[in-house]
Structure 1
Amino acid sequence: MPETFRIGFHLTPFWSPTDRHPTQIIDEAIQVVAAASRMGYAWVSIGQHLLSHPTVWPQPFPMLARMAPETGRMRLKTSVLLLPIVNAVEAAENIATLDHICHGRLDVGVSIGYREKELETVGLRRQDRVPKLEESLALMKRLWAGDEVSFAGSYTRVTAGRMGFRPHQEPHPPLEMGAQSVGATRRAARLTDGVFFGPQISWDSVAKLALVFRDARQEAGQVPGTIGASRALIVGPNRQAATTAARAYLEKTFAMYRAWEMQESTMMELQLGFDAPLESWTVCGSPAECVETIGQGRAMGLNRLGFTIYSLPREVKARIDYLQMIAEEILRPAGALAT
């Protein structure tokens, strides 16, 4: 039976503009998400960055815990948790706790990260990212099983340790891995329940990597798993108007990712400028054009889309109305409303 197609949204654009007090930024995001939870979005997700000035990135565990009672049946997701810079035992405990706080509505997305400044905070080098992530996942899965664990890893050690309680979901919350390369996609197929492709790779790259994931799962004799992609959503009367309205935010996004040296040699080519047409890597244009693009993504085998919603209005009520418009004019005709 084919996997149900669902759409959620990322919180990243909700932290802008940053001229508001941080308390106001967080309170307003909670208010908007609470309203959106009744519109048919399948999940809300939050990413993770450290030392992010001048951008704003509230941390995922406290934010999702605060949003849990406001979000009804909508799922909560880390997208993504930078697992190499997090203590694996603390992450396992926090995830188990958060899974109970939200009564089993948690999904956990992880990735290796890419910023030197973040790796430096925990004394890691770039070459440590993959082994630390793999070691962390192995330890976390053992801890979530509820048994006493002794573990002698290269980065974490546990001697006869056992968590006080297991996660709400069995055997643990669904795991997915962020990927923008063939290697990361194969890693996701091997270690997690699904893959979630990054926002800056093209639709052509998404199609190629989706095939890599499906083939790897099939070769390993595993169930198909979920295949998702993070996509910028840019809505307007037409593609030109949508592009014009989102240009300032896009320029800031490109500048941030270039400054953070997001592009790596092993990755698919990232879209970090205006050289490629927006429709080649985003969901862009009129609502009808957006629905058409979503259909093309589904034809590639995607069953999850996470929107980073550009051109958000500034005021809370206007943001709520904008999300309602997207739900009614894009999610509904795309057959993606969660019930």
Structure 2
Amino acid sequence: MRLGMSITSGYPGLDGTAAVGSLLERGRVASQAGLDHLTLGDQHATGSFSYVQNVPAIGRIMADWPRDKPIGLLLLLPLWNPVIAAEQIGTLAAMSDAPFIVQTGIGSGAGQFDALGADLSSRGRITDASITAMKELFAGKQVTAPDFDIIDASISPRPPQPVEWWIGSGVAPAAIDRAAREGDAWYTSPGLDGDALAVAADSYRSACERHGRTPRIALRRDILVGDDHDATVRLARSVIERGYRGMDTQIIAGGVEHVAERMASFESINVDDIVARTITVDQSTALRSIELLADVRAAIA
């Protein structure tokens, strides 16, 4: 089971310069921790809330990230033109010797859809059409896609290594089927846990069997690792009580041994990758949590 991370991109209360600096510092520490992969999220039109955009940020992080380890980003595809998205990925992937990870999602929130002129009601269909167009562009084909008014498009550079498609979804049958049909991995919702996660994992494996695909599960988990187990649990509890992302028991917090045991428990449903995201804490606490992920990774390897 591999352990990577998705670096927090949102920094409430910080201006743009401080937000970018915080993200890049976390990227450098993640590189030093020897994690297996690294990705950034995707969100748009956040107003005064500083959210660092993933394409320029991941390009800078790649200067510190090992060329032989996978790196990538999330794209809420209904909010992107597929030619633009494919061109950005083609250039980023050319900076790496490892497979480039493209995490996808249909997105949510009327605010960002309205701001980008996207239709929330058609996001599933548009996601499917975008994946198809981008795969053809990566394969060197000339693409015409009426859904996007695209005529005879082609791109260069194209990814020199295979692109790994991690299809994000909840538990809806259509979403799980998309992950099995189009993806190299099912990128699970961070709020999915317990029996619901086990049942959804079984549904995903069944869908993979129908489509003749090999199942692979990448599990997102929000975490906090600390040197003092009890103090770390108390800090995480205070964050949860403030309404952190509407999550509670799904968050993993504590010392290295406890966090490693919790992560290792997901082997029972054949999780292949865990993608850790540090919960909202101050920068020094977040950096120490990322450093300790090196010990967690060693424990579960």
Tell whether 2:251 aligns with 1:288. no
Q: Distance in 1 between matches of 2:129 and 2:14?
A: 40
| Distance apart, 1:40 and its partner CA | 2.0
- Measure, in 1, the Cα distance between the counterparts of 2:150 and 2:231: 56
From 246, 250, 254, the counterpart of 2:240: 250
Q: In structure 2, what is the equivalent of residue 208 of structure 1?
A: 199
- SS of residue in 2 equivalent to 1:92: helix
Aligned partners of 2:224 and 2:29: how far apart in 1?
21
For 2:54, the equivalent position in structure 1 comes to 60
* Mapped contact 2:90–2:156 kept (Cα < 8 A): no
Q: Which TM-score applies when normalising by structure 1?
A: 0.80
Cα root mean square deviation, aligned:
2.3
Query: For residues 280 and 129 of structure 2, what CA distance do their matches in structure 1 show?
Result: 40
**1:169 counterpart residue number:** 161
Paired-residue identity, %: 22
Q: Which amino acid is 2:297 matched to?
A: L
The 3-state SS of whatever aligns with 1:205 is helix
Change (3 A) 1:95 1:251: farther
Indicate whether 1:95 and 2:89 are aligned. Answer: yes
Structure 2 counterpart of 1:118, one-letter code = Q
* Residue range with higher mean Cα deviation, 194-203 or 116-125: 116-125
Aligned to 1:6: 2
Return closer, same or farther for 1:301/1:63 CA change in 2, 3 Å cut-off. same
Q: Secondary structure at the match of 1:42?
A: coil
Residue in 1 that maps onto 2:43: 49
Corresponding residue to 1:301 among 247, 270, 278: 270
The aligned length equals 298
Structure 1's unaligned 5+ residue stretches are 258-271
1:193 to 184, 195, 204: 184
**Equivalent residue number for residue 36 of structure 1:** 30
Give yes or no for the alignment of 1:134 onto 2:103: no
Q: Report SS of the residue matched to 2:102.
A: strand
1:326 aligns with 2:290: no
* Equivalent-residue separation in structure 2 for 1:198 and 1:319 (angstroms): 22
TM-score norm. by structure 2 comes to 0.89
SS of the residue 1:37 aligns to: helix
Alignment of structure 1 residues 145-160 onto 2, 5 Å: 145-149=139-143, 151-153=144-146, 155-160=147-152
- Distance in 2 (alpha carbons) for counterparts of 1:115 and 1:181: 18
Shift of the 319–231 alpha-carbon distance from structure 1 to 2, 3 Å rule, reads closer
**TM-aligned CA deviation for residue 251 of structure 1:** 4.7
**Residue type matched to 2:36 in 1?**
A
Deviations 1:135-170 (A, max 9, x none): 111111111111223x242x2133233223321214
8 A Cα contact 1:245 1:311, kept in partner: no
Verify the 8 A CA contact 1:146 1:165 in the aligned structure 2: no
Is contact 2:46-2:112 (8 Å) kept? no
**1:261 corresponds to which residue?**
none
CA distance in 1, matches of 2:7, 2:60: 14
